[in-house]
Amino acid sequence: MFERRPYLLNNTIQKYSWGMSGKNAFIPKLLGITLEKNEPSAELWMGGHPSAPSKIYLFDSWINLNDVIRDFPVEILGQKIFEKFGSQLPFLFKVLSAAQPLSIQVHPNKTQAEELNSKDPEHYPDKNHKPEIAIAIDELKMLVGFKTIQEFDALFERFPGFRSFFRITKAELKNVLLMNAEDQKLFLRNILKKLFDHSIKQSPSYFTLVEGLRNKIVNQLEYDNLDEAEILFHDLYPKFNNDLGLVLLLMMNFTTLEKGEAIFTPAGVPHAYIQGNIIECMANSDNVIRAGLTLKFKDVDSLKNIIDYSFGIPEKVKSSGDKKHLIFKTAAEEFEVHYLSLSAGQNLQYFCNDNPTIGILTEGEIQITWENDSQLYLFSKGQSFLLPASLNECKFQAVTKSKLYLSGLPQL
C-alpha cells in the first residue's frame, strides 16, 4: 500500500570534468559529504531519467523511483499527468555547479529528438525534447544566443579575419543592417552554415580564421583590454586549439545571471554555462547536441539543421509571487519551479494540485506537516524529497531560516 506522505530521495552526483572540486565544491558542501580528493561534482540529478534515476525510501529500503512510479503511477503522478505523459516523471530537476565552461550546445525539439534517437541512440539516449530553465543560486556566467547584426558589424571591425572568411565587405554588412529581421536571420543562417561546413571539412580557410583570431587576441591585444568572451577565448585556446566553439563564443552573447535571476532556453537556442551554481529544471531528457568547447562527441552536422539562427539574448524569466514564495513559469508544460524563503517560525501551505513535486533544501531546516498537522517529517539542508500527487496538500514550516526549491507542473 502506498502512503500519502513526503518521501526522502537519494540522488546521483554526475562527476563531469567541468564540475567543481576541492573543499569548496558546491554540491558536496550542500549535501554535507566529502568526495575523493579532486573528484569533480557537476550535477545532482533528481528525478526518473533512466541514466541516473533517484531512489526513494519506501518499505524500509531504497528503491528505484521509476519502479515505484510503475507500481503506483496515479498515486505519484496524478491521474491527469499519468494520462498525458505516461508512467514517467515529466521533468528532471538538477543542482548544477560549473567551475569550467560546459560545451556550446543545443537541444532538439520532440520531432528532432525522435529522429536523433532512432539514428544514434548511443549519443541521443531518449526521444524527448529538453526545454530548460536555469535559476542562479549565486551568479551564473553563460553564453546564449547569437549577437545582433549591429554587434556583428563591430565584431568584424575588431577582427577583420571574419570579413575575409565570410567574404563580406563593410558596405555589404552595412546593407544587412537595413534589412528586416527575417532577412537578417537568413543572412546569419547563411554565414553560420558556411562556418559549420568549413569546420567539419577542416578547410584551410577555417584554420586561417582561427589562427587569425588567436594571433589578435593572444599576441596583439592587451589582456586588460579584452572583453569577457575574448578572455574566454584567450584562456581556452591552449586546450581547444581549432575547436569550433572558440569561434562561436565570439559570435554569441556573453551574459550574467545575478542571484535569483532565471533564463529559459527552448529547443534550438545555442548556449553554454561558463561558471556558477544554479538550479536547473527541464523536460525529462538528456539529449545534447554539442558544437564545441568539449572533448566529448560533437555533432555539427546535426546541429546546423537544428540550431535557432535568431539573434539577441532570450528574455529573463519573470517570477510571480512574493519574497516568501516565488514561482518561475515558462512555456514548458513539463515543469514550473517554486522558490521558498522562510524565516524561522514562518510557514507556507503548499498544494500539490494532483501533481508530483520534488524539492531540495538549500539552507536551514524545515518541518513538512500534513493531515491537519497530525503528521510531520523533518528535513535538513541538502536533503531532497518527493511529494506525491496523492498527498494533495502539506505545510512547510521553517525551524530555522530556510530556503528551498520545488519542481512541480503547471495546471493542465
Q: Which residues are catalytic?
A: 290
Contact 316, 255 (CB under 8 A): no
CA dist., res. 102 & res. 272, Å (int): 6
Rounded to whole angstroms, the maximal C-alpha distance in the chain is: 75
Contact 303, 268 (CB under 8 A): no
Alpha helices in 32-127 (DSSP H): 65-71, 73-77, 79-85, 110-119
Q: Give the three-state DSSP class for 47.
A: strand
307 is written with which cell numbers? 540550431
205 is written with which cell numbers? 580557410
CA dihedral angle for residue 54, residue 123, residue 205, residue 271, rounded to 10 degrees: -30
Contact 66, 284 (CB under 8 A): no
Q: Give the three-state DSSP class for 246.
A: helix
**How many C-beta neighbours within 10 Å does residue 155 have?**
15
Contact 125, 286 (CB under 8 A): yes
Q: Give the three-state DSSP class for 257.
A: strand
Backbone angles phi and psi of 33, in degrees to 5? -125, 170
**How many C-beta neighbours within 10 Å does residue 158 have?**
14
